[in-house]
Amino acid sequence: MELNFGGTDLCAVNGTRSKAEARYDVVVVGAGPSGIAAALDAVKGGASVLLVDENPVSGGLMGNDTPLYFGGRMTAATQNSERMLEAIFMSMPELETAMEAGVELMLGTTAWGVYRNGPGAQSLPEQVVGLANAERSWMVAFDRIVLATGARDLAMAFPGWNQPGVMGAAAFQMLLSRYDAFSGRRILVAGSHDLALETALLAHERGIEVAGLVEMRNAPQGDPKLVAKVEALGIPITCNTHPVEAKGGLDGVEQINLADGETVACDTLVMAIGLIPMIELVDAMHGARALEPMRGGYIPKGEATVTAVGDCAGLADTGFDHIAYRMDWMRALSNSCADDTIICQCEEVTRADLIGVQPPNYLTRPAPMCARSLETLLQDGPANQDQIKRLTRSGMGVCQGRRCRDQVAMLLALESDKPFGTIPLATHRAPVRPLPMKILAEWDEPSEMDAAWDVWFGIPTAWVPWEDIGTPHEDEHREMLYTGMYK
């Protein structure tokens, strides 16, 4: 039985959803090479296509290492949005090709959530993607959506990594190749696989001094041809060692201490151990169940609704033991960490906090909480990063776990003596980018939502509608609540 006065169900969610501002046959998220190719294929097939990309991202987001691990090594040029936009077009002429072909392009626009009818979203009139720029957010409807969000850096903690000058290889390449806004002068590269070797070659090409590469294994791990190119430039590759501490001053890193006792003077350490596909949008859509495989080329109407292309669909298979390699690095760096080494920079969760399953120091710790540890937690079942996240706040900061999510899972695997793949990663929820409430909030609410704001979300046991307080209808509400007649 519905509670209905005057023919209106005040608890109904009908009409409370905002309508999409525009509609496209295909929306492509990510304007890298894969995204541009997908957009061109779609528009050539006669589809209306919207191509969105969050670059140029604001200096504030870069300071929070979103979407990449920039490590505080951006120049002041990143604060000038017009200059950044010009740099993108200068470095990516294929964007103009896409626009001339009929693709609508939106840069500096974040896709923060995709909503399709399903659990918790049954009232949507159609499937939509949430977009936001520096001024507002809005919804766009689509028939099909292609995710070409790329990959981000794998960060790993060690003493001193939480100061400016420790950054990721993808962010380094972005600052050099896309923005021309890297502030460092002399770098050290951690790793020796292709990503690290390509990073060193790019730096040398752009006039950045490369102090060398350090590899914790006993030999370089990348393509021998790339290794030869790096060595031919006089760039040393030192094996059987790794960073144990980053020492710095007011401007960040000044030197890196290595496990073999050597000290390297540099202003930047580029972590080039590996990349992680950016799957936040997919994960927030209930994970792999939402994703349908890309069969190549333009997707004819009526086929797959959500597809992924490029690095976000999975990194290229090079035959290299990526997981074992990363775990070797994690084990080596972890052994260098003291109890007070920060693991989650946003929430200042230390290694001791994480392994002890304790909240950060700014929260109180009652005695029962102090008695808790990962060991006691494991007695109740396998480690679960979502549970660890709620108990310690690791991954709950403004970077949304980009610096700690993957390494926390790796640490949990090491500490619980389990294979890495058996530890589930923390899940994502929309918005998948840290958006200010003034942008995300909907100031022009539909009249239906405004009229029944206190009950439209469908929890009748929590509220009596404001307009019925002090009227005979208030008692009718209470009677309904107490007799369980709401349905």
Give Dmax (Cα) for the chain.
88
Q: What is the CA radius of gyration of the chain?
A: 25
What is the sign, positive or negative, of the torsion defined by CA atoms of 199, 149, 66, 95? positive
CA 154/CA 348 separation, integer angstroms = 19
53-105 pLDDT, tens per residue?
A: 999 999 889 999 999 999 999 999 999 989 999 999 999 999 999 999 999 99
Domain ranges of the chain: 4-11+446-483, 22-152+277-313, 155-273, 321-428
- Domain pair 22-152+277-313 / 155-273, same fold: yes
Q: Tell me how long the chain is.
A: 487
Task: Tell me the pLDDT of the chain (487 aa) as tens digits.
Answer: 344 444 455 555 555 666 789 999 999 999 999 999 999 999 999 999 999 999 999 988 999 999 999 999 999 999 998 999 999 999 999 999 999 999 999 999 999 999 886 655 666 778 899 999 999 999 999 999 999 999 999 999 999 999 999 999 999 999 999 999 999 999 999 999 999 999 999 999 999 999 999 999 999 999 999 999 999 999 999 999 999 999 999 899 999 999 999 999 999 999 999 999 999 998 888 654 445 544 343 344 444 588 889 998 877 655 457 889 999 999 999 999 999 999 999 999 999 999 999 988 888 888 888 888 888 888 877 788 888 998 899 999 999 999 999 999 999 999 888 888 888 888 888 899 999 888 888 677 667 666 666 555 555 555 676 677 778 877 777 676 655 544 4
User: Which residue bears the tokens 């906090």?
Assistant: 353
List Cβ neighbours of 293 (8 Å cut-off, separation of 6 or more).
304, 307
Q: By three-state DSSP, how is residue 287 classified?
A: helix
pLDDT of residue 148: 95
CB 242 within 8 A of CB 213: no
Alpha-carbon dihedral 266, 272, 277, 279, rounded to 10 degrees = -30
User: Which tokens is 206 given?
Assistant: 């752009």
Taking alpha carbons only, the member of 181, 30, 47 closest to residue 102 is 47
Neighbour tally for 230: CB within 10 Å: 25
Taking alpha carbons only, the member of 251, 266, 134 closest to residue 211 is 266
CA 42/CA 13 separation, integer angstroms = 35
Cα separations (Å) of 5 from 28, 123, 212, 354, 478?
45, 22, 75, 53, 14
pLDDT of residue 450: 66
CATH, domain range 22-152+277-313 = 3.50.50.60
CATH number of 155-273, picked from 3.50.50.60, 3.30.450.370, 3.40.50.410, 3.30.420.10: 3.50.50.60
pLDDT of residue 150: 94
Q: By three-state DSSP, how is residue 455 classified?
A: coil
Query: What pTM did the predictor assign?
Result: 0.86
